[in-house]
Structure 1
Amino acid sequence: MNEYGTLHESNGRYVLRFERSFHQNPEDVFLMITKPSSFAQWYPFATGEMELRLGGKIAFDDGEGTTYEGTITELEKPYVFGFREVDDLVNISLKAEDKGCRMIFTHTFNDDSWAINTAAGWHRCLDVLVQIINGKPIQWQDNPTELRKIYSEAFKLEDLNHKMI
């Protein structure tokens, strides 16, 4: 499985899609994804304040004086967790597989000018999520420049119209 994300165009918006496989079952992975204290460790700007229910709020703080909240739009324990953050949609789905599960993470947004930086950022965040789920100490890799180069080469934005989700 390719750990790099892919970029697609869908209904005039852009979608970053990542997959990760885990040895743990969907229940255990879902708990680590949605538990407010672990969510705040891997998700950018999350404060750890979350109402885990459909329509529940998630608090964010960019660390520079801007606070905002997201709204949980999908919640099917232990398989689907989705929310709106400003105009963006984030969806995390888990599928039982062999002796574990596969996670599909998507981020839907409007402006492709941030696609490369956003993909590099999510790549790093999901690497930390994998560490959390596997009970490893969190180590943020110092690889954003390398990841931006990889995603810049992979995302030929003019080719997006030929790719559909």
Structure 2
Amino acid sequence: MIAHIEKIENSYTATYERHLNHSIQEVWSYLTDNEKLPKWFSELRVDELRKGGVIKFDMGDGTFDELSILDLKVNSVLEFSWWLDTVRFELTEGSNGCILLLIEKIKTITDHTPRDLAGWHVCLDVIEALLDGRTIDRKEEWKIWYEKYGKEIEKVTNK
């Protein structure tokens, strides 16, 4: 399901909701375990898993940007800076598993925003596939979702 994108005052929020047939602990491990993180987001690495801690983003040129962990409740909430924006994962109990929310607070819509939104969408698809023991073609999926998120951004910004 496509994220719900809305304008709130002078910024935007994109909310993704996934119902996963896996425990909170299993899903949490994919969000925070450096053995599992690269399987769905190869550039991320948790450096210090605590509020005020750091997640490192590999820029691919030998350098790393540090993203601050803004909120952390083990097996429940992981929120970190995403440069000028923020990304928040929330896990709650659901029937036959858990509910995963990803909420990105976007300060300014740019030409890159649909790329990021499609990227997060595919990341969540990959996490679900890994948990289910499946694989997906990330590049093909990203292309499909990139086009859809481009249209969603147009709808929200043209209101």
> Structure 2 length as normaliser, TM-score?
0.86
Over 3 Å counting, the alpha-carbon distance change for 1:115 and 1:85 in structure 2 is closer
Alignment partner of 1:36: what SS?
coil
Q: How many residues in Structure 1 have an aligned counterpart in Structure 2?
A: 156
Native 8 Å contact 1:18 1:104 kept in 2: yes
The counterpart of 1:101, out of the listed 79, 91, 98, is: 98
1:23 aligns with 2:15: no
Find runs of 4+ consecutive structure 1 residues off by over 3 angstroms. Answer: 135-139
Structure 2 gaps of 5+ residues are none
Native 8 Å contact 1:95 1:103 kept in 2: yes
The counterpart of 1:14, out of the listed 12, 19, 23, is: 12
Structure 1 residue identity aligned to 2:142: P
Deviations 1:83-103 (A, max 9, x none): 113222110001101121110
Native 8 Å contact 2:32 2:46 kept in 1: no
Paired residues for 1:69-148 under 5 Å: 69-113=66-110, 114-137=112-135, 139-148=137-146
CA-atom RMSD in angstroms = 2.0
Structure 1 gaps of 5+ residues are 160-165
Please say which of residues 89-98 and 144-153 is displaced more in the overlay: 144-153
For residues 70 and 96 of structure 1, the distance between their equivalents in structure 2, rounded to whole angstroms, comes to 27
